[in-house]
Amino acid sequence: MLNNYLKLAIKVLMRRKFYTAINLFGIAFTLLVLCLAAAMMDNTLAPGPPETRLDRILGIEYAKMSGPNGSWMSNPGYGLLDSYARDLPGAESFSITTTGNTVTSFVGGEKLESTLRRADGEFWEIMEFDFVEGGPYTAADEAAGNFVAVVNEATRERFLLGEPAVGKTIRADGQLFTVVGVVRDIAFTRRMSFADVWVPISTAKSTAYREKLLDRFQGIVLATSRRDFRTIKDEFDRRLGVAELPDPERFETLESGAYTQFEEASRSLSSDHNEPAPGRLALIIALSAAAFMLLPALNLVNLSLSRIMERSSEIGVRKAFGASSWTLVGQFLVENVVLTLVGGLLGFVLSVIVLRIVTGSALIPYAELQVSMRVFLAGLGLSLVFAVISGAYPAWRMSRLHPVEALRGRAR
């Protein structure tokens, strides 16, 4: 019987090609948007090279000093992180890096721009980069102020035309560095680790950074486990509460926080941009996904209702020949499920194509966007639920009609 249902469903769907095309477009477009959004979030918030331990990482990415006459908010400075974020209980490792800074170089008379990040030796222990040449510099290089650098493959190609880079020198930010390692390109969306060139913090042109509480640095705390997050956050807050401020007459309090990447992303949603609002961000994501799913669902219900109602004569004939209500409901459910599965297949193919186009366009530098199967399957599952609902209700209504009324076209 199922085989007959499938054959009949295909014939019925091909009968009204325009309605079928509208339904297919709605389902495919919905899944495409969901997959695009999920791919972007995966590249930003989910663990992935080199941030493979992101589920155990807390970032310290903002700081604020306040006083009676105003406030100053920025990234934390090296002085704040070095004095108050080291050796936190529950932390397995801790690293300090600058935020990415665009620097200019000249190679063969050509002007090249790169993103340079200054990081300590512990940075390479927390992040898991894929080295294609050499290896990372060490804490000893940082302590000695050695002018060494790790570069990505794109920088090797631009500066050295793809030739082996280890042992050669490059000039960045007006300084000369010896390359000790080459890593695979990582996506621009990896905010904690992205760069083209990484060099020791101690190679900075001035040592003034060491005393600043607010500057262009960030802290990376690798917790022993997620259970230690609360301990780390509470101890960091306690230390800041007794911090010594450089100008007590101007500033009275020092604020900062250690947050997950999801919490950090939600911070802009809070009223003062200081405290994270992960619940609010999760709600926005859920409502956005629901809205995208609701539109094609309503479209599917309306089209299914009109398609079934116009087949009242067919239903009347089948009921007159003894077709049960459950048989008719089953037939219309199969039609909607087939339609949804075909739309889901189109959505998957479109998602793969569009994500490859976005990746190849370099719209997001070095990003490799892929279809998130868990999101696609969840979206397809919801589509199937809507397909069952949209097919069951009108089919149930029609199955309740008396055969004579159905034949006369009295469906309302």
Task: Give me the pLDDT at residue 412, please.
Answer: 47
Residues contacting residue 83 through CB under 8 Å, at least 6 positions apart: 243
Task: Give me the pLDDT at residue 64, please.
Answer: 92
Assigned token pair, 67: 């006083």
Cα–Cα distances in Å, from 386 out to 298, 299, 389?
9, 10, 5
Task: Give me the pLDDT at residue 115, please.
Answer: 96
pTM: 0.80
pLDDT 10s digits, 295-350: 666 766 666 666 666 666 666 666 665 666 666 667 777 777 777 788 888 888 88
Asked if 122 contacts 94 with a C-beta cutoff of 8 angstroms, the reply is: yes
Under-50 pLDDT residues of the chain: 411-412
Cα–Cα distances in Å, from 242 out to 217, 218, 237, 255?
21, 21, 9, 11
**Domain coordinates of the chain in residue numbers?**
2-47+280-407, 62-258
Residue given tokens 């590249």 in the structure block: 43
Task: Give me the pLDDT at residue 68, please.
Answer: 84
Task: Give me the pLDDT at residue 369, please.
Answer: 76
Task: Give me the pLDDT at residue 297, please.
Answer: 67
Assigned token pair, 234: 């509470």
Asked if 310 contacts 303 with a C-beta cutoff of 8 angstroms, the reply is: no
Task: Give me the pLDDT at residue 228, please.
Answer: 97
Task: Give me the pLDDT at residue 180, please.
Answer: 98
Task: Give me the pLDDT at residue 7, please.
Answer: 59
Asked if 63 contacts 71 with a C-beta cutoff of 8 angstroms, the reply is: no
Task: Give me the pLDDT at residue 411, please.
Answer: 47
Task: Give me the pLDDT at residue 166, please.
Answer: 97
Q: At what angle do helices 325-361 and 373-399 cross, to 10 degrees?
A: 150
- 101: helix, strand or coil: strand
pLDDT 10s digits, 55-103: 999 999 999 999 888 888 999 999 999 999 999 999 999 999 999 999 9
**Sign, CA torsion 117/119/123/124:** positive
CA 7 to chain CA centroid, nearest Å: 41
Task: Give me the pLDDT at residue 26, please.
Answer: 76
